[in-house]
């Protein structure tokens, strides 16, 4: 889920943290070019809402509150899953 607005992020993250202190947050990032390519590949209409959100999200995710970043531009889904599992299981 993409949550780039600070108020929404804090609400959800803090709510989950109340349930379980051992929460893991990963911020999957990519360049705008990669995001646009992925949107086109899945059939989204060029210039639509999803395309308009990309620049805002890319900029917002530079904030340090998005601590554990995984740059996904050149990764397959299985590689991302493996990275996340390694990080979660190593704690």
**pLDDT, one tens digit for every residue, the chain (91 residues):** 688 888 998 999 999 999 999 999 899 999 999 999 999 999 999 999 999 999 999 999 988 888 789 999 999 999 999 999 999 999 6
How large is the angle between the packed helices 49-60 and 32-41, nearest 10 degrees? 150
List CB contacts of 12: < 8 A, sequence separation 6 or more.
3
Tell me which residue has tokens 């989204």.
44
Q: Is 3 exposed, middle or buried (0-12, 13-18, 19+ CB in 10 A)?
A: middle
Contact 29, 72 (CB under 8 A): yes
């Amino acid at each position: 889920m993409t949550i780039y607005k600070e108020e929404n992020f804090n609400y959800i993250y803090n709510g989950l943290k109340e349930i379980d202190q051992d929460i893991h947050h990963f911020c999957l990032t990519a360049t705008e070019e990669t995001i646009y390519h992925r949107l086109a590949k899945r059939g989204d209409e060029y210039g639509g809402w999803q395309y308009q959100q990309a620049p805002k999200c890319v900029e917002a995710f530079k904030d340090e509150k998005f601590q554990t970043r995984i740059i996904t531009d050149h990764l397959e889904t299985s590689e991302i899953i493996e990275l996340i599992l390694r990080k979660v299981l190593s704690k």
